[in-house]
Structure 1
Amino acid sequence: MESFRWHLGNNKTVKVREELIFRCGFRRFRASPLYSQHSSADKHKLEHFLWSNGMHDLIATDFLLSVDPDRIIIKRLVFSGRPFKIFTKTAVVRYMFFNREDVLWFKPVELRMKWGRRGPITEPQGTHGHMKCHFDGQLKSQDTVLLNLYKRIFPKWTYDPHMPEPIPCVRNEQQLPMQEVA
């Protein structure tokens, strides 16, 4: 796990698992890193982008915080559905699942609504993924039902220690000559 500082003037994005060249002292290697938020908990949220600039430019500098092979990086997935029939605190929800088996599989997980209501799935309704849910307060028809799931992300082993030497920059003769440093 490393913590990095941005190099000044960089504003391009780098995606997760995009191959980068790392330079650690005299060693250079290619790898596809994962980015995560640093927190005091034992689970760390996956970041999908690293903001930087340029190809083969210095993106960031870093220092080693700890060497922890058991670091857990998680990705949040959100399923959403709409209340179909509302009876004060109970509602039939649709468009979250599309078969009865999925409703039964996710029955132990608590649902939440965008406006703050929480509650469990009580039973599936029919064979097309409709489900009856009971919430802790009055429901509104314009609210959305959400189901948060967390998936552990593992880094792919893309380490390549055999890096070709960088190609020297060829200068154009029409450019101004370089100034010598005394």
Structure 2
Amino acid sequence: MSPAMIFNIHLALGYVPWLLCFGAYIWPRLRSMEPREAQRAIATLHSFRFFGLVFLVPGVTGPDLPGGFASFAAYGDFATGLLAMLALLAVARPAIFWPLVVAFNLVGVVDLVGDYYHGTMLDLPGHAGQLGATYAIPILYVPLLMITHVAALYLLVRRGLGEPAAT
């Protein structure tokens, strides 16, 4: 089996355990929380996305990792992480908190969709070995990030429609 095929299998299967875990443990808890606390929990996870800058550190990734992928992924993660941190700092000020929650989720989704797009266009599976120490990020971390962005956006829409938190 080629490294590209293994990488693609890893990408696809990375969602399976997270969806199972999310459905069994995380989603029921998020749905039962007050909207602000649920978004705060999701923002806490995403506040660690500053780590995406690691794609730009020489020696952590291989020299032949497509630059168009590395830069977009690094700066998209960094922007999302900063917005999530700002949301956490503003949690006591709803007029600031909620727009920041929307912002970090929209920027985060654009980042991840853009990463998938750039990865496809630049043949990231064919360069999977160049991910080096960052290989685990798209396989283990990105699925949870995407799932929680979808959940956060769903909760935002549900909140906007005036539906109370489930009990």
Larger strand share, 1 or 2: 1
For this structure pair, what is the TM-score category when the shorter chain's length is used for normalisation?
under 0.3
The two structures have a TM-score, normalised by structure 2, of 0.26
Q: Which has the larger radius of gyration?
A: 1
